[in-house]
Copies of this chain bind each other. A is one copy, B any other.
Amino acid sequence: MCAMTPPLRVTAAVATVLAAFLEDPAADRYGLDLMRASGHPSGTLYPILLRLQNAGWVESLWEDLDPVAAGRPARRYYRLTPDGEVAARAELTALQQRLHRGLGGTTSPQTA
């Protein structure tokens, strides 16, 4: 197995895409769907999806659909690989904990 973790930088943008995937790891997602869920424009999202695929975290397959009959273009579905799901969860948890330290306990001068 040797789940290699290639030099993939989990930046804020990448993290939100991973978070969208993890909302429902079993579900197939497609580009427009992920654009709405993550809030990124296509020019940000698609390069991220490419990197995610190169890293082996995500795999993709084309929808088997007749565009004429369906009245819309075929979608390309993206899905987390098993490795990708584990890695994504680990990275997001780590990032969140790093942020949590700042928002944790110590402070209080807020209404909450």
> How often does this chain occur in the complex, in copies?
2
Q: Is A24 an interface residue (CB 8 A)?
A: yes
A14 CB → nearest B CB, Å:
8
A28-36, A60-68, A100-108: which lies at the B interface? A100-108
A93 interface neighbour in B10, B95, B103, Cβ under 8 Å: B103
B11-A102 in contact (CB<8A): no
Given A15-B12, A23-B104: A110 and B98 interface contact (C-beta under 8 Å): no
Interface residues in A83-111 by Cβ distance below 8 A to B read 88-89, 92-93, 95-96, 98-104, 106-107, 110
Given A95-B12, A99-B95, A100-B96: A106 and B23 interface contact (C-beta under 8 Å): yes
Q: Is A53 an interface residue (CB 8 A)?
A: no
Which applies to chain A's interface (DSSP): helix, strand, loop or mixed? helix
Q: Is A22 an interface residue (CB 8 A)?
A: yes
Query: How many of A's residues come within 8 Å of B, CB to CB?
Result: 30
Residues of chain B within 8 A (CB-CB) of A99 are: 15-16, 19, 92, 95-96
Q: Name A residues whose Cβ lies closer than 8 Å to a Cβ of B.
A: 10-12, 15-16, 18-25, 39, 88-89, 92-93, 95-96, 98-104, 106-107, 110
